[in-house]
Every structure is written in C-alpha cells, then in structure tokens.
Structure 1
Amino acid sequence: MQEKQERALDLQRVSSTILYIWTTCLTELPDVAPCNGTIRLPPPCEESPSSGSSKDRSNNSPRRRCRVLAPILLLVAALLLGGLCLPFLLQTAPATHEQRLHVIRRILTEVPLIDGHNDLPWNVRKFVHNQLGEVNLSSDLGRVDPWARSDWSHTDIPRLRAGLVGAQFWSAYVPCGAAQLNAVQLSLEQIDVIRRLAEMNAQHLTLVTSVSGLIEAHRQGKIASLIGVEGGHSLGNSLGVLRTFYGLGARYLTLTHACDTSWAVCSVGEYNGTQDNVPGLSEFGKAVVRELNRLGMLVDLSHVSTRTMRAALQTTGAPVIFSHSAARALCNSSRNVPDDVLRNLAKNGGIAMIPFYTYFITCNSTATIKDVIAHINHIRKVAGIDHVGIGAGFDGINFTPTGLEDVSRYPQLLATLLEDPTWSEEDIKKLAGLNLLRVFSKVEQVRDEWQRAAVLPVEKISPPDSSACAYGSS
C-alpha cells in the first residue's frame, strides 16, 4: 500500500513538473483558441519585431526555444510516465495465468471465497457410517480408501486450503426415501456430524452462524463452516423442527430436494405436466418462508420447481439464494433457473450460486471451466454482477468439469475469469464472496427488524400426517 502511494506521488510530481514546463513554453506561442467557430492556427515562424540583429532574434526567440525543447520534453515525459505507470499496468492487467493467480491469491486474503454447497457430511455417513474417528480430514483423502475409489469425493482440508476456501456451507442432506419416516432424526444426525467435524478440525475449521462470525473466521485464517439443511422433507412438516434446526446452527433451508413435500413442489416433475394445477407453495409453505425470514435463515430455491421459485419470490420479505443452480437458458435442466426468475431474483436482491455438476452445465457428462464461466456470464448479464456466486456441489456430484476436479481448483476458475477484460478485481470479489455476504447481511437485517416489530413465531400447523407411523394420526 505504501509503495502504491509513493508511486502515485511520483506520478503527480512528474506530471506537475512537465505541465509547468510545457505550459510555460506554450505561453510563448500564438493564440490557438476557437474564434467564431474557427481555429486560429499559429502563423508561420517569423522573426520577432523586437530590436536587435536578425541573428540574435533567430537564436533567442521563444518560438525557436520551444521548438527545440518540445520534443525533448515529450521524450522525457514518455520515459518517466511509462516507467512509473508500467507496474500499475502490469498489476491491473496481468499478462500470464500465473500473474492472474497471484492477483486471485491476494484478492482471497481480502475477501472470503464462499461456496454455497458441499455434500461431504453425507459421504461421511455413506462411507464410514458417521464414525468420525475413521475420517482424518487433514489427510489427502484422494489417497485413502474408500474416498480414493469414489467419483463422488472431492474434499479434504489440504485441498480446501489449496483452493483458498474462506467459507463453506455444508449440506445436512438426507434422501427423499426418508420422508415421513426418520428424516428429522437423520437430519439432526447430519447437523451433529457437521458440528463435530468443525470441532475435531478446529485448527482449520470453525462453525459460524452469522456474517460477523464468517468475517472473523476469515480474518483469523480459518475456514468458516456453515450448515444448510437440504430438503423440506427434513422438517417433518413442523415449524418447531425448523426452529430447532436454526438453534443448532442451520442457516439455510432448501425448500425441496428431488421430491415434493405436502407444501412445496420440486423440480422433478417440471416437464411432465403434473404440476400445472398445483400451486408452488401451499399456505403452510408460505408460512415456512415467512418463518425463515423471521428467524434470519436463508431461503434456498435450488431443487424447487419454477412455480415454487416464483411463489417463494412473491412471499419472501428477504433475499433468497439458489445454493447450487445454473442458467436454464444454457442447459435446459429443470434444476436450473430460467431468465424471468433471474430477473426477479435481481429485484429481490438474491443470488444464484453456480454448480460444477456437468449435467447442470452442459446437460451431459463432460464440461470445462469455460462452460462454467458461460453460466456465470449469462447470470451476470441477465441478473447483474451483484447476483451471482459459486455453489459447486462437490461430494454430491460424480461428473466435474475439466479443470474444476475438486475443491482445490477455485483459484483456477477466478484466474481464468480475470483473462476477460470485462471482469475487474471488484467483480471477482463480488462473485467470490461479497454477494453472499450482502445477501446474508440483509437476511439478518430483516430478522432484526421483525424482532424489533415483535413479530411472533408462526404457529401454522401443516395438514395432519395420515401415515400409520405418525402418532395421533387416527
């Protein structure tokens, strides 16, 4: 910073000196100011009418001195300004990929890189049945079975560090098959896994539940760990369970996963016509959204149907997120966001976080960094630079783009973006984390305003569960 200030002062001094000399010389020249719409050009060089011999007048005239000095001054100015400006030019327009990576490393010390979705906790359950003593997250899991044999494994602390990750939303996910069975219990167990992973790796991870906590963790050089509950079926149709999840640290709820709930429609049936007469959110579903607003918990619209996206945007009093959804205009998957919803997302102040699953990027099994960038640029074009982020979905996907194979690769993505002259450092900062911080801050602000207004918890009860597994169903 001090070096930049000194260079700026040097530039100012040189500019002032050159301007002084130049303007002094120019004062000796004829008037070239506009007059009646024309320019009065300087007359041809002629001898001054001043007294003295013609030889003296020729050698000493101001006009003659100016002709001699002008090229010299211009050359000196070019050399001085060029030498002083070159470091700035190299800094603002890095020429090589390695130089751009250096810029990204600096940026990510100033702004936390925040990823919206990672399914590592479910792999802990799937691979080692939540026996955390069998997981050394500080080791290279790419060399440890069963992680090394799985196409679904992309995450460990060494790779998170290499990827300069500043904050990660970990998914407390349970399959739709647990709906109306033990989904609530399984979700609580997954929240417990996330909390214990942070505790067991406290040198690197720290559980956070607020914007201030996230920023402080980044300042301390730790990876902020946040909890997102993926799928409304995890609530068991209970707002009391939602409040309990919040109390345990959950800070977003994905309204559906790949299955409908009794109160929200998922994306799976988007194209088969079964949703035409079904509202995106029931009255209880709207109550869920309002309770999320009251709690200060992010409303996540990934996995929901377009109808539900629109209903939630009409209902919410706070910005929403898509924790891992791409642009439907580029890949016509029902999991992606159509342009009209992106435009409404911008009005809402929310954010769409781009996933790295190839089937959401190119709608097939192969993709590249450039394909991911195309989605980022499309959402930037439709919704604006303030409404795009990153939600890779690692450990929950089995096909990744070339160049984005695991959590170590985020700097490569950002450095590649920086090749594009339309992307400034400030734009990169917004994409990396500032946009999510802004949305999260606004959600907290709405919570605080509702608390000051004494808005009470939502007491609405969902339709009764007629399952034989539910107490009081008869």
Structure 2
Amino acid sequence: MADAELLAEALDLLAEYPIVDGHNDLPWALREQVRYDLNRRDIAEDQRDHLHTDLARLRAGGVGAQFWSVYVPSTVSRLAGQDAVTATLEQVDFVHALVARYPEQLRLALTADDMEAARAEGRIASLMGAEGGHSISNSLAALRALFTLGVRYMTLTHNDNNDWADSATDEPKAGGLTRFGEEVVREMNRLGMLVDLSHVSPDTMRAALRVTSAPVIFSHSSSRAVCDHVRNVPDDVLAGLPANGGVAMATFVPKFILTEAVAWTERADENMVAHGFHPLDLSAAGLAVQSAFEAANPRPVATEATVADHLDHMREVAGIDHVGLGGDYDGTAFTPQGLEDVAGYPNLVAELLRRGWSRDDVAKLTWRNALRVLRDAESVARGMSEAPPSIATIDQLDG
C-alpha cells in the first residue's frame, strides 16, 4: 500500500478510534511562557512557533482524549513541600480554565463514560494527571483533594526520590516503596486514581505491581530492551502487565527512545549545567543554550519508525491489550521527525499499518486500552467503596 493510502487509512481509523495520549505538559509550558495568560497564548490560534500543542493540531493529529499533566518540578531547590502542593493546585486550576475557555472543543472528563461522551460529541476529553508524588507532600488528604478536583492519575515520583518512593533518575533510598508508599498505592486504588509508574525505579515498579489491586499505567515510558535508558520499562515489568491489566504508553522523547541520542543528551546536559541551567530548563534562555549546542553538535534524529520499534517490542512482550501512547509534548525540547508536534500521530499510525498492525490492533493502542484501564480502576474503586479513607501518616508507618 502506498504511503498516501496508509495515511488515509490512518486518518479514517483515528476518526473512529482517536488517540488517548497519556501525557502532555501544555499547562506547565503556558505557566513558564505566559503565566497561564491564554490571551497572550491562545491555543485556538496557530502556536507552532511556541508550543507543540494547539487545538487545530490536536484535531489534525486525531487526538480524542488528552491527559494534561498537572506537573511541578521535583527538584528540591525549585518546588517542594507545601509549595509543590500549591503549584499543583495552580496547574489543576489552569486545566479547568482551559476547558472552560474552549467548551466547543474540550470537555472535562472524570470517568471512562465521560471519555466516551466526549468522543460522541466530537470534543476532546480532557483528563488530568499529577506528575510526581511530591505533589501531595506526604498527605493522603492532599491526594484525595486532587482526586476530588479531577486528577485521575499520579506518577509516584518525578526525577527525584520522594520520602516514600524511588525515582529512576535518583540514587535508591526506599528500595522501591516504603510502607507509606504502599499505603499511597492502596488509597489510589480506593479512590479510582490510576497509579502511574513512569519515572520510577524498576524496584518501585515491581513493588507497586505487587501492592496494587487495580491496573497501572506508564503514562510516558518506552522499552528499555530497545533503548537502555533508565526512564524505560524493563521486559520483566512489561511481561507482568497482562496479570495486572495495565498499559505502558510509549513516549516520543528522543533521548529515551534512540540509543544514539543517550550519549548525545549526556553531553548536552553537561553543556546546560556549564551555562548555569538545569538540563530540563525549557525557558527561552535555556532553549537558546540547547539550540546553540545542537547547531554545533547535530543531534541524532529519531523518527516515527523509532517509536514503532518500541511499540513492536512492547506488544510482543506485554501483548496488544497493554500498549498505548504518551507523547510528552511540550515537556521536551526535541521531538522525532514525523512526530514534531501533536499533529503527527497519523504518521505513526500509518507506520504501524505498514508493519502489519491490524485495524483492531491500532484501535486498542489508540483508544480502547486506555479507556479500559480507567474503567477497570473505577470498578476496583467501587468494590472498595465500603473502606474508609486512610488516615495513616508517613510518621506512623515509616517513622
């Protein structure tokens, strides 16, 4: 089948089974760029000079449901403790404002039924995921408050350990999860909040899978066997997803998916630090430093085929019912060729069709798997509805 025919088939498929994307950092990008002022950065207009995301490109990409990341950095020098909780609430507030500003395009989704209703209405279901357990500052009451406000997953860590869970990019401290960390997982199950295992260490992944009674997600992580980066998922964990029912949502971040990009990124990060910036700084000044480094040191380029390689392997190990997509748009400085922004998803779908993925396979990847996982988490929560909220504290369990 010719490339144009594959792309046409991809677009037709996405019209029926649109993309559920597990992770988009637009809220933080707009906080950093314009302090949430949508009059200055109106996503109803073309924002390709500033962002990976706007409404027209979401439509062009066939996105039907988006988990907006209500992310705050875990780096202690920036936001920690109650400051992290406050900043997370500001992120949540912004997503509510975003949905209210564009009611014909976006619909707040709190349940799987809401996702289906948004699809039927031709609107983009807008869900929220908190990125990092530091956002609750060791408080199960704060966790419950986030759920009440609409947050439907929480990544157990970000780039740093917290007091109860180990991150993939920090030195192990808890050995996975502490007793309080296990209580966090159980309380998330009781609420119906998805446990997100992106960013956590392999031991934390395994501990969470042991404790949870509901399916987990990896909102934006790819295969460690294909690209040996600590942010990716080892095969033994992928192989455990069928028993759990969870979904690993492949990310598009080049430094996580392309082996050649790993060493290049280490050098680029060292350059950022030498210029006084955190490696993840996406401010205009930070991006300028990154761009100058890239001009002098051309970066290895990932493509939609690179992502497809990960998805092929993840499907082989975990099964077709346990894969999804989490692009991490507006949370990364670089994106793959063919997947430059949120309009690129049809290119990936076309590549998968070229490789022999069936229409049913792709429908599971794009829509059905993520919908099922949220519905299953809701079912587990209903089964735990008689259980009282946990009043445990970290001092009681880990002190």
Asked whether the equivalents of residues 165 and 174 of structure 2 are also in contact (C-alpha less than 8 Å), the reply is no
What TM-score does the superposition give when structure 2 sets the normalisation length? 0.87
SS at match of 2:389: coil
Match of 1:192 in 2: 93
Within 5 Å, which residues of 2 pair with 1:65-464?
Answer: 95-143=1-49, 147=50, 153-176=51-74, 177-269=78-170, 274-275=171-172, 278-363=174-259, 364=261, 365=299, 366-421=301-356, 423-451=357-385, 454-463=386-395
Instruction: After TM superposition, give the deviation of residue 350 of structure 1 in Å.
Output: 0.5
Distance 1:391 1:241 in 2: 26
Q: Distance between the aligned counterparts of 1:175 and 1:232, measured in 2?
A: 11
Opposite residue 235 of structure 2, the aligned amino acid is: D
Counterpart of 2:62 in structure 1: which amino acid?
L
SS in 2 for 1:463: helix
Give distance in 1, aligned partners of 2:37 and 2:59.
Answer: 24
Q: Which structure has the greater CA radius of gyration? A: 1
**Which amino acid letter does the alignment assign opposite residue 266 of structure 1?**
S
For residue 334 of structure 1, report the CA deviation from its aligned partner: 0.8
Mapped to 1, the partners of 2:379 and 2:119 lie a distance apart of: 21
In the alignment, the residues of structure 2 paired with residue 190 and residue 297 of structure 1 have an alpha-carbon distance, to the nearest angstrom, of 18
Q: Is the 8 A contact 2:99 2:108 kept in 1?
A: yes
Using the TM superposition, give the Cα deviation of residue 133 of structure 1 relative to its aligned residue in structure 2, in angstroms.
Answer: 2.8
SS at match of 1:173: coil
How far 1:370 sits from its partner (Å)?
1.0
> Once the 2 structures are TM-superposed, how far is the Cα of residue 112 of structure 1 from its aligned partner?
2.8
Q: Which moved more, 1:436-445 or 1:360-369?
A: 360-369
| Unpaired runs of at least 5, structure 2 | 262-298
Matched residue SS, 1:213: helix
CA drift of 1:308 comes to 0.4
**Structure-1 separation of matches of 2:111 and 2:82:** 32
**Compared with structure 1, are the counterparts of its residues 263 and 234 closer, same or farther at alpha carbon in structure 2 (3 Å cutoff)?**
same
Structure 2 distance, partners of 1:198, 1:319, is 27
CA distance in 2, matches of 1:251, 1:445: 14
| Contact 2:140–2:184 (8 Å) recurs in 1 | yes
Q: Which amino acid aligns with 1:317?
A: S
State the alpha-carbon separation in 2 of the partners of residues 287 and 201 from structure 1. Answer: 38
Q: Percent identity?
A: 48
Aligned mates of 2:140, 2:366 — CA distance in 1: 33
How many Å apart are 1:208 and its aligned residue? 0.7
Q: 1:181, CA displacement in angstroms? A: 4.7
Any runs of at least 4 consecutive aligned residues in structure 1 with deviations exceeding 4 A, and if so which?
Answer: none
The CA deviation at 1:192 is: 0.4
> TM-score, normalising length from structure 1?
0.73
Q: Report the aligned-residue RMSD.
A: 1.2
Say which SS state the counterpart of residue 67 (structure 2) adopts: strand
Counterpart Cα distance in 2 of 1:417 and 1:110: 17
Could you tell me which residue of structure 2 aligns to residue 82 of structure 1? Answer: none
SS at match of 2:354: coil
- Kindly provide the amino acid, as one letter, of the partner of residue 185 in structure 1: T
Tell me the distance in 2 between the aligned counterparts of 1:417 and 1:329.
19
Worse overlay, 132-141 or 202-211? 132-141
Query: Displacement, 1:132?
Result: 2.8
Q: Aligned partners of 1:405, 1:107: CA distance in 2, in Å?
A: 21
Aligned counterparts of 1:110 and 1:403: Cα–Cα separation in 2 = 22
Partner of 2:289: none
Structure 2 CA distance for aligned equivalents of residues 181 and 247 of structure 1: 18
Compare relative contact order (CA 8 Å, sep 6+) and give the higher one, 1 or 2.
2
- Partners of 1:140 and 1:303 in 2: CA distance: 31
What runs of 5+ residues in structure 1 fail to find an aligned partner? 1-94, 148-152, 465-474
Q: Per-residue displacement from partner, 1:172-224 (whole Å, max 9, x unpaired)?
A: 01111312250000000000011101110111111111000001101111111
CA distance in 2, matches of 1:278, 1:162: 44
CA–CA distance in structure 2, aligned partners of residues 438 and 142 of structure 1 = 33
Instruction: Look up the equivalent residue of 2:42 and give its one-letter code.
Output: N
Letter in 2 for 1:128: V
Aligned positions, number: 354
